[in-house]
């Protein structure tokens, strides 16, 4: 069994409620942080922990926190990104649904560190039943003196509000999220300025993922140095992986980033192998936007070394032969799956979710969807494959936000590793009809 | 006439108070959710105008938001909306078959509503339940690990619920 820092109590009966959570040692980090530490020493601990943003970009959290601007007399905000919409990703939902107090605890400590008296949880609208769970946890925390005015008599005031989105993947991008929080369309802003300088209502704002903020709890409890000893290299601590697709045991797993991809897929502790004894064909290891890898490059790197479930190892080989940890959405395809069809559904997703501000993204995602659909259904030409390659290349890097890249990468990787499958569809139109 | 009850007006004020003073527009998304629940599960123009009035913003500011987000219905929808996910991870677990099955069973295509106004079938993109696929959203909740039998049950469940309410 690997180390568990977040989900260790997930199966305790009643852990969703304050009393049980508290009895199990909950809210100790708030007492420690508010009474024994200062905002600066908390930021230092988080820096020492090596924690990297769990939303997908992997940016060092402590460093981001130390960048927050502190202009005189201007309020600052912490915003928790619970928009979770990257296909394959459903880990934040699990945390909020089963361990709401862990998130609230992390939010209080982080709010104190950042000086946020009003903290917002921006949750995707479709998770419509979860705001009730969070709001109940918030009420319980308040009733017990952990939220509201003068928390634990320390003079620190903090409120946490839940803000529901309304169905738009793009609102997970932090600047689109901020626009949406302000009651606007989710059109990303140009960065810089980063939110830490100019965010919600033009105030300094830190946006962090649910899992990142939950991880602050064990970091404060055990100390940053101890946390950094778990894991390997720059992949410190534990990571939640949401596993789905053709595996025996889909679900959310906490790993310590030292296990191999092979162990993760085949061990009974995790995915439990592929159903019906089928063979592994391919995998998208970090959410739909990261490159798909064929089985051979997934289990071993191009150099023939074992591939591990951590940031460095998953990206070993760059885009030519590697992929990314991303948001931890692990999507497995068995030998019967069609990579072209899978890529088509993802292209359709990104076209649907493009906010339309940049022409390469708005037009390019539509073209890619159309061409992929044609190829998938046996109506494509050989030249379409090159056209597709060309379009994705022209989107990447030419847009305001990375949604354009996110749309381009899966297409590029599918062609790179599975070109023969695209060609098969073109050459076998009859058999491709759906 | 479009108007919230006093109870709901209290809720509106409580929501507005969550945001900094003068930034009441921030309450737009939550208020549109509230309005949609309250006024027949879709946002007619007078409803949007009413929300604009409550927030002291121009109607166009409401329209541009309501048209951007997929959860706001700008047309009437069936009493029960089956929003079935069709993105990659769900497709890998057979969502195409489920969508086709529901379509045949209800005699409608995705995007359509049954003649009796009871069911709308809608295909949607990833809802964050990929590990429990195939799945759909039905009202506030997710229905996961769908099979044809489960779909049959759900349709029955909705029909009998509707019958009870009449
Ligand atoms: N969890 C999910 O559902 C999804 C996750 N993603 C992930 O999102 C990632 C892209 O996110 P971005 O926010 O565009 O990445 P980014 O690299 O621009 O930023 C990452 C974080 O670091 C901060 N940051 C970076 N440089 C900074 C500086 N100089 N000063 C202050 N703050 C700084 C940003 O504000 C942001 O919070 C992708 O890699 C993808 O994996 C994408 C889609 C969905
Ligand atoms: C299109 C797009 C969608 C995103 N969606 C999410 C999301 O749903 N959840 C999330 O935490 N980060 C998402 N991000 C990343 C955020 O912009 C940001 O990097 C993150 O919230 C920072 O938190 P972290 O440092 O704790 O990871 C998305 C980025 C892009 C470009
Ligand atoms: S890249 Fe796409 S989603 Fe991002 S700002 Fe441009 S058009 Fe909008
Ligand atoms: S792909 Fe269907 S819920 Fe994620």
Q: In this complex, do A126 and B71 lie within 8 Å of one another by their Cβ atoms?
A: yes
Nearest to A129 among B23, B55, B140 (CB): B140
Nearest to A342 among B30, B55, B91 (CB): B91
Nearest to B89 among A168, A186, A244 (CB): A244
Q: What domains sit in chain B, N to C, each tagged with a CATH number? A: 6-68 (1.10.10), 80-164 (3.40.30.10)
Predicted pLDDT of residue A268: 97
Q: Cβ contacts (< 8 Å) between A184 and chain B: which residues? A: 25, 28, 64-65
* Number of other CB atoms surrounding residue A255 within 10 Å: 22
Predicted pLDDT of residue A1: 60
pLDDT, tens digit, 9 for 90 and up, residues B21-70: 999 999 999 999 999 999 999 999 999 999 999 999 999 999 999 999 99
pLDDT, tens digit, 9 for 90 and up, residues B109-139: 999 999 999 999 999 999 999 999 999 999 9
Residue A282: beta bridge partners? A294, A333
CA distance B149 to B3: 42
ipTM score above 0.90: yes
Return all residues near A271 (Cβ < 8 A) that are at least 6 apart. A243, A247, A248, A249, A250, A253, A264, A265, A330, A332
With bands split at pLDDT 50, 70 and 90, how would you rate the model's confidence at A405?
Answer: very high
* Predicted TM-score (pTM) of this structure: 0.97
The residues lining ligand 4, judged by C-beta closer than 6 Å to any ligand atom, are: A 87; B 85, 87-90, 126-130, 133, 135
Please report, rounded to a whole number, the percentage of residues in chain B having pLDDT higher than 90.
Answer: 98
Contact A332, A281 (CB under 8 A): no
Q: In this complex, do B92 and A118 lie within 8 Å of one another by their Cβ atoms?
A: no
Determine which of B92, B93, B100, B139 to mutate to test the interface with A (most A C-beta atoms within 10 Å).
B92
Q: In this complex, do B89 and A88 lie within 8 Å of one another by their Cβ atoms?
A: yes
Q: Cβ contacts (< 8 Å) between B127 and chain A: which residues? A: 126
Let me know how long chain B is: 166
* H or E segment to which residue A339 belongs: helix A339-353
Q: In this complex, do B128 and A127 lie within 8 Å of one another by their Cβ atoms?
A: yes
Please report, rounded to a whole number, the percentage of residues in chain A having pLDDT higher than 90.
Answer: 99
CA distance A75 to chain B (A): 10
**Nearest ligand to the CA atom of A351:** 3
Q: In this complex, do B89 and A245 lie within 8 Å of one another by their Cβ atoms?
A: yes
pLDDT, tens digit, 9 for 90 and up, residues A86-112: 999 999 999 999 999 999 999 999 999
């Amino acid at each position: 069994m690997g180390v568990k820092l977040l989900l260790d109590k997930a199966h305790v009966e009643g852990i969703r409620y304050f009393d049980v959570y508290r009895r199990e040692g909950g809210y100790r980090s708030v007492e420690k942080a508010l009474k024994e530490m200062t905002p600066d020493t908390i930021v230092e601990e988080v820096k020492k922990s090596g924690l990297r943003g769990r939303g997908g970009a992997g940016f060092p959290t402590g460093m981001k926190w130390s960048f927050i601007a502190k202009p005189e007399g201007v309020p600052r905000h912490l915003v928790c990104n619970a928009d979770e919409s990257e296909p394959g990703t459903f880990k934040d939902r699990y945390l909020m649904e089963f361990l709401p107090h862990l998130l609230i605890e992390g939010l209080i400590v982080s709010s104190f560190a950042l000086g946020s008296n009003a903290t917002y949880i921006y949750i995707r609208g479709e998770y419509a039943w979860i705001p009730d769970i969070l709001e109940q946890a918030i009420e319980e925390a308040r009733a017990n003196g952990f939220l509201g005015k003068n928390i634990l008599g320390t003079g620190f005031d903090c409120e946490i509000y839940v803000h529901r989105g309304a169905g738009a993947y793009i609102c997970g991008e932090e600047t689109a999220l901020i626009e949406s929080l302000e009651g606007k369309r989710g059109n990303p802003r140009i960065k810089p300025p980063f939110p830490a300088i100019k965010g919600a209502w033009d105030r300094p704002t830190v946006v962090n993922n649910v899992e990142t903020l939950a991880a602050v709890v064990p970091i404060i409890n055990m100390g940053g140095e101890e946390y950094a000893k778990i894991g390997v290299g720059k992949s410190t601590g534990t990571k939640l992986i949401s596993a789905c697709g053709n595996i025996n045991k889909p679900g959310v797993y906490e790993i310590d980033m030292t296990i191999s991809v092979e162990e993760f897929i085949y061990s009974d502790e995790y995915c439990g192998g592929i159903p019906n004894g089928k063979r592994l064909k391919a995998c998208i290891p970090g959410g739909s936007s990261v490159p798909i890898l064929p089985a051979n490059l997934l289990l071993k790197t191009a150099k023939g070394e074992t591939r591990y479930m951590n940031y460095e190892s998953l990206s070993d080989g760059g885009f030519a032969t590697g992929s990314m940890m991303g948001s931890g959405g692990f999507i497995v395809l068995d030998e019967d799956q069609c990579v072209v069809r899978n890529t088509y559904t993802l292209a359709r997703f990104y076209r649907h979710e493009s906010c339309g501000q940049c022409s390469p993204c708005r037009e390019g995602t539509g073209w890619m969807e159309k061409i992929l659909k044609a190829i998938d259904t046996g109506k494509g030409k050989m030249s379409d494959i090159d056209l597709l390659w060309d379009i994705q290349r022209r989107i990447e890097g030419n847009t305001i936000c990375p949604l354009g890249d996110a749309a381009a990468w899966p297409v590029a990787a599918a062609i790179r590793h599975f070109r023969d499958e695209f060609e098969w569809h073109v050459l076998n139109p009859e058999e491709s009809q759906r | 006439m479009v108007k919230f009850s006093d109870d709901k007006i209290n809720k509106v004020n409580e929501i507005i108070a969550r945001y900094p003073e003068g930034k009441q527009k921030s309450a737009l998304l939550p208020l549109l959710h509230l309005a949609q629940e309250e006024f027949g599960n879709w946002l007619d123009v007078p409803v949007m105008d009413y929300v604009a009035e409550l927030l002291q913003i121009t109607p166009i500011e409401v329209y541009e938001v309501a048209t951007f987000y997929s959860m706001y219905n700008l047309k009437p929808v069936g009493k029960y909306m089956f929003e079935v996910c069709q993105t990659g991870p769900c497709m890998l677990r057979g969502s195409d078959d489920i969508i086709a099955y529901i379509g045949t069973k209800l005699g409608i295509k995705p995007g359509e509503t049954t003649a009796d106004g009871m069911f709308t079938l809608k295909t949607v993109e990833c809802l964050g339940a990929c590990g429990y696929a195939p799945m759909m959203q039905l009202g506030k909740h997710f229905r996961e690990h769908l099979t044809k039998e489960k779909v049959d049950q759900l349709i029955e469940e909705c029909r009998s619920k509707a019958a009870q309410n009449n």
